[in-house]
A and B are shown apart, each in its own frame.
Chain A
Amino acid sequence: MLEEFTWEFIVGHMNYWLFIVLMMTGLYVVVARGNLVKKIVGLNIFQVSVFMLYISIGKITGGTAPIFSTNLQGKIKLDPEIVYSNPLPHVLILTAIVVGVATTSLGLALIVRIREEYGTIEEQGILTIERDMVHEEERVHGEAMGGRG
């Protein structure tokens, strides 16, 4: 097991490990912080590090951006010498970025609504208000049934 960890292996996998650290930073913000806006930012960080992971898979050493060179008439010149990086992860991630913004905006709209309803955007505050509401409801219900709920 340990002899796998040659210098080349470590350098070649450093990118994955860095992106995992970034991902875990984002996940920590999502899980540990109570502020809803901060949770969304953490989610964004998590998302972008997943994007970076995918793009790094598509990179080829010595490769260039996957765009063909053209001459002045706009005709494509093919040069078999040029290595292009893998365009498929790029396409995937382009879609994912736009969908990510869609989810972000929806989450932020929900936050605005929650703030309007509860007057707070802290998870703890919302939980306290919910608990009080449930207690109140049970009390009212119990009185209506003519006993101790």
Chain B
Amino acid sequence: MLVVTALAVVRTRSLFAVVMLSGVFSLLSALLFVTMDAVDVAFTEAAVGAGISTVLLLGTLALTSRYERTARQSPLVPVAVVLVTGAALFYGTLDMPNFGDPAAPASNHVYPDYIARSVDQIDVPNIVTAILASYRGFDTLGEVAVVFTAGVGVLLLISGLRRRRKGGSKAKQEGPRA
């Protein structure tokens, strides 16, 4: 699992076929989610990350240019920024519990409550679904609002395109349907 991830890092540094590699990256991360017991997340990542995102990126490439110009300023400042941020994050992980530790704070606070009560209260076999749709229903409503806003924004930005362009080339897909 860790080897696969490391491989993904090396590959995404490649300059060519960036979009396809991002799809590959999403798919690999979906595999990683499965091994970490998050099957629902893996579904969504494979469908949305590897599917819809790639299609949207390809659509953008079709509407814009396909090649990256290589002229750019010296990479020293970005490297410094990245190294400093990475060091800060690394320092932060020193206090974290070990991977998979049953005594970790995340696994002891409200989590046993959800496991114990969702059978009686919701009666849905999938605990993730029970929490998403019931306990955290308002979050999901907010999420739908975000997606709706984004869809409207995309439509507003794109809608003039067809009018301005003669020959009626295909407009980009409208907002995400997730």
Contacts and interface: CB of A to CB of B under 8 A. Distances in A.
Interface of A: 4, 8-9, 11-18, 20-25, 27-29, 31-35, 37-38, 40-41, 44-45, 48, 51-52, 55-70, 76, 78, 83-91, 93-95, 97-106, 108-113, 115-116, 120-122, 124-125
Interface in B86-138: 86, 89-90, 93-94, 96-102, 104, 106-107, 110-111, 114-115, 119, 123, 125-128, 131-132, 136
B124 to A, nearest CB: 8
Interface of B: 2, 5-6, 8-9, 12-13, 18-19, 22, 25-26, 29, 32-33, 36-41, 44-45, 48-49, 52-53, 56-57, 59-61, 63-65, 68-69, 71-72, 75, 77-79, 81-83, 85-86, 89-90, 93-94, 96-102, 104, 106-107, 110-111, 114-115, 119, 123, 125-128, 131-132, 136, 139-140, 143, 146-147, 149-151, 153-154, 157-158, 161, 164, 172, 175-176, 178
Contacts of A116: 161, 164
